[in-house]
Structures are given as C-alpha cells and as structure tokens.
Amino acid sequence: MAPFAFATLPSSHICRLPKPTNLKFRVRCSTAASSPSSVSTRSKAAGFDLKTYCANLMVQINQKLDEAIPVQFPPQIYEAMRYSVLAKGAKRAPPVMCISACELFGGSRLAAFPTACALEMVHAASLIHDDLPCMDDSPSRRGQPSNHTIYGVDMAILAGDALFPLGFRHIVSQTPSDLVPESHLLRVIAEIARSVGSTGMAAGQFLDLEGGPNAVGFIQEKKFGEMGESSAVCGGFLAGAEDDEIERLRRYGRAVGVLYAVVDDIIEERLKVEGDGNRKNKGKSYAEVYGVEKAIEKAEELRAKAKEELDGFEKHGERVLPLYSFVDYAFDRSFSVDDASG
C-alpha cells in the first residue's frame, strides 16, 4: 500500500473511478445545511482547472527537490535517495496540498516550498520502506522498479533513513525567517514527526503486516489519512491559521487521504476481477473486506465530509478552490496527473 498520493496505480489504469456495471453511484447530500456562499464556492470549484494548477506547481516542486538533494559523499546513498524522490511517476500530492493550504490563508509559496519538499521527502522515504521485502514486498513503485530492486535492501533502508532527517533539516535551513516565525516552524516539525511516528504511519504499517481484516479502517486512517492530514495542517501552520481552522484542515486532510486509498482499493479490486490485479496483502483492502459497493459508499461519505470541512473556509473566497478540487479528483480521477506533469 502506498501512502497518500495523487494516484498509486499505473497511469493506464487511472483517470476515472471504474463504475461497476451492476452498481450506481448514489450521490449523498450532506445532512448539514450549506450556506448560499458555500454552495456558490462549490459550484466554482467544479470549473477550477486543477490539472493546470498541479502541472505548474509540480514543475516548481520538482526543481526545488532536485536542488535539495545534490549528490554528495557517499554518492550511493544520495543516488538512491534521488531515484525515489525524483521519480517521474511521482504525483506530488503532499507538497501540492501543503502549498494550497498555505495560500488559503494568504501565505506565500516561498514560505511553503521548503516544508512542501520535506513532506515529499518523508513521503518517498515511507514508500521506500513500505516496498521492502520484509514489509509489502513490492517490486515496483511510481512506474519504475522499487528502490531496493535497483540499489539493494541495505541501501534502500539507508536512503529512507536519510530522507526523514533531511526533510526536517530542509525546513529549518530553507524556510525564509522573514515569512514564517520560528514558532510556526516548530509546529510544522512536530506535526510531521507525529504523523510518521509510532502512533501514525508506523502504526498503520504494523497493522498492515500483523492485523486482521477488521483492522482495515485503522490501517487506512494511519497509512493514508495521516499523510493527507499532515500535508494540509502544515500549510495552515506556515500561514498562521487559527486553531479552529487547523482542526478543520486536519479533518479535511484525513478524509481526503483515506478517500484516495478507498478509491485505489476499488480500482485494484476491479483490476483483480479483470485478471490484472497484483495486490499482495490480502484482507487489507476496504473493497476486499467490505465489497466494492460498500467501498463506493465509503468514498461518497468521505468526499462529503471533506467538502463540509471546506465550507467553513468560505470567507477566504476563491483561495479554497484548489482544496475543493482535490476532493473531486480523489473521487473520480478525472484526469491523468502523468499528462499534467508531462
């Protein structure tokens, strides 16, 4: 399983959520009444060009990541680090969400880029470790062979180990002090550390290995929801969002992160039925445990929940549009991010 990302499947199988022929998507409206302004904002979000928005941001993010990890001594570790971080199949969902959340509150992209890059480093490190033979034993990642199949298990472990602290150092050394107060940076660092630690993504990976089918909900909350939550919250911290706004971002990011995972599960289950699936860990997919129809219902609920949280940001006007658009993209995969980044 891959943590939160724009798409975790081969590009030939994404773009749109496959709708089983014997099922219909039942669009559920939120039980909470939406104000006229939030309805208007949602309508505008439907026309927002997320593909172009992501493509432009990804060019900048990729350049900054390339600059952040120059090859040094010992070169083998840095080459392994760069192999995964700079993979052409990377979708950059964590950094894009971080930047969008920062801009929502009037923050600068220059203030957000170092943290955005750090989130991508942490994300890549978690993928390297997830793919190891002792974990998910995945032979490929982001459209290319997994790190350990190219550089060996020992070097892959070291590359992942090195990326985690590099991310934290990058935040501290590269964030402009005139744009982000030190107290905000401390909250960012604490948030990322929490999300990847023993109560966050590590806990999710443990249960992915050892837990039974009943643990699938917790696994997805931790392995996927934590990355989405941390990405959104860090952007808010950088821009000085209020505590109640941070909590909204927290709930939004977690819902979107899990939504990506549930939709990926549905897609993989459909591919498996068609004889093209390659999931290794049986019983850890929401669609496998509860069935495709229940998984679709779960995806609809998560989409509604994420949008309800964003309704609370209506005072920020059109700056919230990218975050709304992420929700719909996570649900329907309306375009290929490979095309957007190409």
Query: Which CATH number goes with the domain that contains 122?
Result: 1.10.600.10
Angle at 278 between CA 204 and CA 209, to 5 degrees: 25
Predicted confidence at residue 268, as pLDDT, reads: 86
pTM, to two decimals:
0.86
Angle at 10 between CA 89 and CA 3, to 5 degrees: 70
Predicted confidence at residue 39, as pLDDT, reads: 67
Pairing of strands 144-145, 140-141: antiparallel
Does residue 2 lie within any of the structural domains? no
Angle at 7 between CA 12 and CA 211, to 5 degrees: 115
Query: Helix or strand or coil: residue 82?
Result: helix
Does residue 4 lie within any of the structural domains? no
Does residue 20 lie within any of the structural domains? no
Does residue 28 lie within any of the structural domains? no
Does residue 102 lie within any of the structural domains? yes
Distance separating the N- and C-terminal Cα atoms of the chain: 25
Predicted confidence at residue 73, as pLDDT, reads: 95
Residue 111 tokens read as: 């203030």
Among 227, 297, 228, 233, which Cα is nearest to 262's?
A: 297
Query: Helix or strand or coil: residue 31?
Result: coil
Predicted confidence at residue 76, as pLDDT, reads: 96
Does residue 190 lie within any of the structural domains? yes
Predicted confidence at residue 16, as pLDDT, reads: 46
Does residue 189 lie within any of the structural domains? yes
Averages of pLDDT over each 10 residues, the chain, 342 residues = 48 41 39 58 84 94 97 96 93 94 97 98 95 91 93 97 98 97 97 94 88 83 94 98 98 96 89 64 72 94 97 93 94 71 49
Q: Which stretches of the chain are DSSP H helices?
A: 36-46, 50-68, 75-85, 93-104, 109-130, 147-151, 153-174, 182-196, 201-210, 216-220, 226-239, 243-273, 286-290, 292-311, 321-332, 337-341
182: Cβ contacts below 8 Å, ≥ 6 apart = none
Predicted confidence at residue 143, as pLDDT, reads: 83
Among 267, 249, 250, 234, which Cα is nearest to 2's?
A: 267
Among 34, 196, 51, which Cα is nearest to 121's?
A: 196
Full 3-state SS string of 101-130: HHHHCCCCHHHHHHHHHHHHHHHHHHHHHH
Q: What count of other Cβ atoms lies within 10 Å of the Cβ of residue 176?
A: 11
For residue 55, what are the domain limits? 46-275+284-333
Predicted confidence at residue 20, as pLDDT, reads: 39
- Tally of domains in the chain: 1
Beta bridge pairs of residue 144: 141
Does residue 118 lie within any of the structural domains? yes
